[in-house]
Structure 1
């Protein structure tokens, strides 16, 4: 298992109740499943609308189960932002 950091922004940060936490997972899907277990409720709903960056690279439409996480990596959880 790879270990790294999940960073929550805006509504995701509010729903999780913290700005960041560690992950211990091989894929983005595993990391997000564990986050849903730790933070049931609003975060589960917010994650459905989020986009994700893995070490600065957008995940886009790739299946989360195919996105491998690196040791010491960072997952950025980005809810939709208003404005422009």
Structure 2
């Protein structure tokens, strides 16, 4: 099973209480399910409004179950940012 790193930014980082943590999952959906189990509460709420990059590529509206994760990959969790 692929292993890599999940990086949290801004409000997601605050809700997770960590800047990054490892994943062991085949798909983005599986990785996010594990995140929700480890961090119930605020992070689960924040994830609903986040966008994601997998190895630098935007996930967009793709079904998270179809987004394959790679060995040594990176998932970036990006909450909405305030503009200015």
TM-score over 0.5 (shorter chain): yes
1:33 matched to 2:28: no
User: 2:3 maps to what in 1?
Assistant: 3
Q: CA RMSD in A?
A: 0.5
Q: TM-score with structure 1 length normalisation?
A: 0.99
Aligned-pair distance for 1:25? 0.1
For the pair 1:54 / 2:54, whether they are aligned, the reply is yes
Structure 1 segments, 4+ long, off by >2 Å, are none
Structure 1 residue runs of 5 or longer lacking an equivalent are none
Correspondence for 2:70? 70
Aligned length: 84
How far apart, in 2, do the equivalents of 1:29 and 1:55 lie? 15
